[in-house]
Structure 1
Amino acid sequence: MEFRLARYEDVDEIMTIIKKAQEFIHSKGIDQWTNGYPSREVIKKDIENGYSYVLEKNNKIYVTGSVSFDYELTYNDIYEGKWITNDRYSVIHRMAIDMDYKGSGLSDEFLKNVEDLAKEKNIFSIKIDTHRENKSMQGFLKKNHFIYCGIIYIKDGSERFAYEKVLDR
């Protein structure tokens, strides 16, 4: 498996993975990733900014996600809890696995690579948020030792559960 920055020629395959993930989320009655989000334009902007990563093998992408080491404005205010750390952190957004491989451990491998990347940058915290109803993602986060920290509100005003994982130094 290779963990690498996504390229513009990966957009179609990334969008196929996202579409399958949207269908799965919506089949569970969750109103996350609606109204065309994340769009092809959002993914292209992630690539342009150097945020979009993929996990691939033999030219097939299995997992995609946006990994930022920039400040996340929507994480400024957290309600009904608090962040574990106030240090620099990385943020994961728009993470999705090809649903044909859900449960395969490939998402765990993607996350491990994000952790290694953060440590290389001397960053020892990863923050992420998900919809209240997205039990699948919440289970993934719990399994991977993320701690529930409270509630944040994204740009459109929607509530999200916020999690943090502190990495070993």
Structure 2
Amino acid sequence: MIIRKTRPDELDLLMKMYEHARLFMAGHGNPAQWGQSYPKQTLIADDINSGCSYVCEEHGQIIATFYYKEGPDDTYRRIYSGDWLNQRPYGVVHRITSDGTVKGAASFCLNWAFEQCGNLKIDTHKDNRIMQHLLDKNGFTYCGIIYTDDGSERMAYQKAE
């Protein structure tokens, strides 16, 4: 597997992957996290244009996608019912999904992101048991609660060297 930046001509494929992810989450007890329309196409286009959208390929096929950026994330400025592991500079991963065709793709993406910065933060919905298991399996520590821009509560995780 390889990780590379997303190209603008891949937007439609990513949107299909996110549609599949919403259906998967809804079918596995997590219908609220992304609802019926998150992420919007304009958001993913902005991610691509900013250079923060990445894809994971296997044999030339895109099998996963995610947002990765180093630097402060406004949603992580305050944490409740816990503390971050440290206050060092960090990277963030958002909107990670895979098409489900290659086992371990999401773990590969998370490990790649961690290798870039050595201090990684991520969050997920309380009903997203699959993501919680993935984070636990990949050495992330549950740190507390954060709130997204729209006020939604999320479980916050961090992995540090």
User: Is the partner of 1:133 in helix, strand or coil?
Assistant: coil
Give the share of equivalent positions with the same residue, in percent.
38
**Match of residue 14 from structure 1:** 14
Asked if the contact 1:20–1:99 (Cα under 8 Å) also holds between the matched residues in 2, the reply is: no
**Match of residue 94 from structure 1:** 95
Q: Does 1:153 align with 2:147?
A: yes
Equivalent residues, number: 160
Instruction: Note the alpha carbon deviations across 1:62-116, whole angstroms, 9 max, x for none.
Output: 1100001131111111110000010100000000010344xx1111111222122
Query: When the two structures are superposed, what TM-score results if normalisation uses the length of structure 2?
Result: 0.94
Query: When the two structures are superposed, what TM-score results if normalisation uses the length of structure 1?
Result: 0.90
**Match of residue 75 from structure 1:** 76
Please tell me the residue identity of whatever aligns with 2:109: F
- For the residues of structure 2 that align with 1:137 and 1:40, how far apart are their CA atoms? 23
**Match of residue 110 from structure 2:** 111
Please tell me the residue identity of whatever aligns with 2:70: F
- Farther-moved stretch of structure 1 (25-34 vs 38-47): 25-34
Question: What is the RMSD computed on CA atoms of the aligned residues?
Answer: 1.2
Uncovered stretches (5+) of structure 2, i.e. residues with no partner: none
- For the residues of structure 1 that align with 2:78 and 2:157, how far apart are their CA atoms? 13
1:23-62 map, 5 Å: 23-30=23-30, 31-62=32-63
Shift of 1:52: 0.3
**Match of residue 156 from structure 2:** 162
- For the residues of structure 1 that align with 2:34 and 2:100, how far apart are their CA atoms? 15
User: Is the partner of 1:33 in helix, strand or coil?
Assistant: coil
**Match of residue 85 from structure 1:** 86
Shift of 1:149: 0.1
User: Is the partner of 2:139 in helix, strand or coil?
Assistant: coil
Asked if the contact 2:29–2:128 (Cα under 8 Å) also holds between the matched residues in 1, the reply is: no
